[in-house]
Chains A and B, each alone.
Chain A
Amino acid sequence: MKICVCVKHVPDTAANIKLAGEKGFEDSEIKFVANPYDEYGIEEAVSIIEKHGGEVVIVTVGKSSAVTTIRSAMAMGAHRAILVKTDSRFLDSDLTAKALKAVMEQDGLPDIIFTGKGSVDTENFQTQYRLAKSLGMSIVNEVSSLTLDGDKALAQRETIAGEKQVIEMRLPCVIGATKGLNEPRYPKFPDIMKAKKKEIKEIDLSELGIDASQGKVVIEKLEPVPERSGAKMLEGSVDDQTTELVRILKEDEKVL
């Protein structure tokens, strides 16, 4: 069995995003990591291969520096990787899906593709759908439980509070992973060392005939979300504090 996992190289969520110019940010000093949701995909792929045999290929579209993220995915047990290089910081979902499709077709189509349910940088939740559609594969996103059964898979996804859909899908399929699917492993030192020797094939986005400037969603401006300057602290006894809070919420804020 062959499984591809799409992994995005994103700023660590704890990183302080320093804006630069109208629509950029300083990326030289902040830490980049594998998109947290993608890690559930890597873990699931590696555990399936451990059971059924085959290989896990990491596919990343990003800057050259994404190699660090790819190595961390390899330390979790992926066998090899393909990096589609682009300098664009905000390659849109459509072009990203096209790039993923092109390299997967070159490399040989997998039986299963894992992605995260979305990325924590641009939060657009759709590349996996475009990829699935272009490859004619089935897709379920936000999957928190997965069972394979021959040429079928059973995926569970939460819809509204306390309600879960159980969806039967035909393989080959695309799975958008989320928390609950598994507990991603922490690589051990020997795994990290071994990962350094694994193959990463690099290819330029332009070699795939994709022009990064042709995106249909274009960033115009990036601005900080206004921070609250600090709470108005309510003083006095518990009774005073809660009485004042209810008054504020009802009369001043009008949210009750």
Chain B
Amino acid sequence: MARTGILIEIENNAVKETSFGVMTAAAGEEIYALVLDDDAALVKDKLAEYGAAVIVNITASGELSKSPDLQAQALAATVKEYQLGTLLGTASATGRDLFARVAAILDEPLVSDCVQINITEKTVKKSHFSGKTFATLKVKGSVLLCTLRPNSIEPVAASGKGAGNIIEFLANVADPGLIQIVEIKKDTAAKLDLTEAPIVITGGRAIKAAENYKMLEACAQKIGAAVGASRAAVDAGFAPHSMQVGQTGKTVSPRLYIACGVSGAVQHFAGMKTSKVIVAINEDKDAPIFSKCDYGIVGDIFDVVPALTEKL
């Protein structure tokens, strides 16, 4: 059993589902759940349920929330303090950034956005060439650093509950003072994050206008989905870039992906190919997307989507 640290992401006082997925990937190892700049006591029971042997509540003097470098320093210090052989996290925007900083500090190898991991063998599987191939990589470091693609591993509670004892760790680190978060700009409407959503509904060029995304949002709301857009729709000005799925946009891997009026360019597939089930709705029966998805409906999205929403 290797001592494995897992960076836990917490939102609104609850552990994110994606973090439970990462814990599941480490099942059988001695799990150290790492809570950075948050209140571990609030999530203690849940973390124990997913197998946490130890919960480390990491703090540092200085404003952790304003400095990604300080967070990385604190996390790197935790790896050393508890002699963690492996450090895993979610390949979210925050996780990707933080792990790259930690890898640079520790001077250890890191593999980002993996879909599979074998902690004993130190091998991981991840996408190469925009989702066209999977690469199996061997990692030769003294610490295995790895972020996992959200939703790539289905969360399953541990067969034996972990002890989940909380340890307080005050990392003795200093902020290099190179960067500081000075402002956080929030969109007024709180939306589900595309990369982490279990279901994604995307509107392509056929959506025709920005206001028509309301139709997809109505559907999304019923099933807890996030709404995305294809590059064609973004370039046409129907949706902001933050909604773009595919190359130069976001990579998603939900359990269900519904593409509405998306033709299915290679660059789009690069961002959603590893979804579990892909459904396409398109007026053009010859659209390339039908040759690469699981279920297809030929029809006008303005007829099909409302009918679908009604039945969900």
Q: Do A and B come from one complex?
A: yes
What are 27 A-B contacts with C-beta separation under 8 Å?
A13-B130, A118-B112, A124-B110, A126-B103, A129-B103, A130-B103, A139-B101, A144-B241, A156-B185, A216-B108, A217-B138, A217-B140, A224-B132, A225-B134, A227-B292, A231-B280, A233-B296, A233-B297, A241-B304, A242-B297, A242-B304, A242-B308, A248-B295, A253-B256, A253-B277, A255-B277, A256-B223
Residue in B130, B139, B196, B199 whose Cβ sees the most chain A Cβ within 10 Å:
B130
Contact A37 B113, beta carbon cutoff 8 Å: no
Q: Which residues from A are CB-within-8-Å of B199?
A: 255-256
Q: Which residues from B are CB-within-8-Å of A165?
A: 181, 183-185
Q: Which residues from B are CB-within-8-Å of A230?
A: 290-292
Q: A14-B266, A132-B104, A133-B104 are in contact. Are A138 and B110 (CB under 8 A)?
A: no
Q: When A and B form their complex, which 5 residue pairs have the shortest distance between CB atoms, in order from nearest?
A: A162-B187, A231-B296, A138-B178, A133-B104, A216-B109
Chain A 20-59: CB-based contact to B (< 8 A → 1; otherwise 0):
0001010000000000110000000000000000000000
Contact A225 B273, beta carbon cutoff 8 Å: yes
Residue in B123, B140, B194 whose Cβ sees the most chain A Cβ within 10 Å:
B140
Partner of B186, one of A133, A142, A163, A231: A163
Q: Which residues from B are CB-within-8-Å of A126?
A: 99-100, 103-104, 110, 112
Q: Is there a chain B Cβ closer than 8 Å to A11's Cβ?
A: yes
Size bracket, chain A contacts: 35 or more
Shortest Cβ distance from A157 into B: residue: B93
Q: Which residues from A are CB-within-8-Å of B292?
A: 227-228, 230-231
Shortest Cβ distance from B279 into A: residue: A245
Contact B278 A228, beta carbon cutoff 8 Å: yes
A61-69, A167-175, A200-208 - the one binding chain B: A167-175
B51-59, B80-88, B156-164, B242-250 - the one binding chain A: B242-250
Other than the given A130-B103, A165-B185, A167-B181, 16 more pairs (CB < 8 A) read: A129-B101, A138-B178, A157-B93, A160-B193, A161-B226, A162-B186, A162-B191, A164-B185, A166-B183, A168-B180, A179-B249, A222-B136, A238-B299, A241-B299, A246-B311, A255-B199
Partner of B141, one of A120, A137, A216: A216
Contact A36 B100, beta carbon cutoff 8 Å: no
Complex CA distance for A66 and B248, rounded to whole angstroms = 22
Residue in A133, A142, A164 whose Cβ sees the most chain B Cβ within 10 Å:
A133
Q: Is there a chain B Cβ closer than 8 Å to A223's Cβ?
A: yes
Q: Which residues from B are CB-within-8-Å of A164?
A: 184-185
Partner of A245, one of B105, B192, B248, B297: B297
Shortest CB–CB separation between residue A46 and chain B, in angstroms?
A: 19
Q: Which residues from B are CB-within-8-Å of A144?
A: 241
Q: Which residues from B are CB-within-8-Å of A220?
A: 123, 136-138
Task: Identify which of residues 291-312 in chain B touch chain A, using a CB-to-CB cut-off of 8 Å.
Answer: 291-299, 303-304, 307-308, 310-312
Q: A165-B181, A228-B294, A241-B299 are in contact. Are A249 and B103 (CB under 8 A)?
A: no
Q: Is there a chain A Cβ closer than 8 Å to B3's Cβ?
A: no
- Using a CB–CB cutoff of 8 Å, the interface residues on chain B facing chain A are 92-94, 96-97, 99-101, 103-105, 107-113, 123, 126-141, 177-187, 189-194, 196, 199, 223, 226, 241-242, 244, 247-249, 255-256, 266-267, 270, 273-274, 276-280, 290-299, 303-304, 307-308, 310-312
Q: Which residues from B are CB-within-8-Å of A169?
A: 178-179
Complex CA distance for A219 and B267, rounded to whole angstroms = 24
Chain A 158-193: CB-based contact to B (< 8 A → 1; otherwise 0):
111111111111100100001110000000000000
Chain A 229-256: CB-based contact to B (< 8 A → 1; otherwise 0):
0111110001101110110110001011
Q: Could you tell me the dominant secondary structure of chain B's interface residues?
A: mixed
Contact B311 A223, beta carbon cutoff 8 Å: no
Partner of A19, one of B104, B133, B312: B133
Residue in A130, A140, A165 whose Cβ sees the most chain B Cβ within 10 Å:
A165
Complex CA distance for A22 and B256, rounded to whole angstroms = 32
Q: Which residues from A are CB-within-8-Å of B187?
A: 161-163
Q: Which residues from A are CB-within-8-Å of B307?
A: 238-239, 241-242
Complex CA distance for A226 and B263, rounded to whole angstroms = 20
Q: Which residues from A are CB-within-8-Å of B138?
A: 217-220
Shortest CB–CB separation between residue B132 and chain A, in angstroms?
A: 5
Contact A180 B241, beta carbon cutoff 8 Å: yes
Task: Identify which of residues 65-113 in chain A touch chain B, using a CB-to-CB cut-off of 8 Å.
Answer: 92-94
Residue in A11, A161, A169, A222 whose Cβ sees the most chain B Cβ within 10 Å:
A161
Shortest CB–CB separation between residue A34 and chain B, in angstroms?
A: 13
Complex CA distance for A127 and B94, rounded to whole angstroms = 17
Complex CA distance for A256 and B132, rounded to whole angstroms = 27
Complex CA distance for A165 and B193, rounded to whole angstroms = 15
Q: Which residues from A are CB-within-8-Å of B136?
A: 219-223
Q: A238-B307, A255-B276 are in contact. Are A161 and B248 (CB under 8 A)?
A: no
Q: Is there a chain B Cβ closer than 8 Å to A141's Cβ?
A: yes
Q: A161-B194, A162-B189, A225-B131 are in contact. Are A167 and B308 (CB under 8 A)?
A: no
Contact A123 B180, beta carbon cutoff 8 Å: no
Shortest CB–CB separation between residue A55 and chain B, in angstroms?
A: 24
Contact B278 A223, beta carbon cutoff 8 Å: no
Complex CA distance for A231 and B277, rounded to whole angstroms = 11
Shortest CB–CB separation between residue B74 and chain A, in angstroms?
A: 16
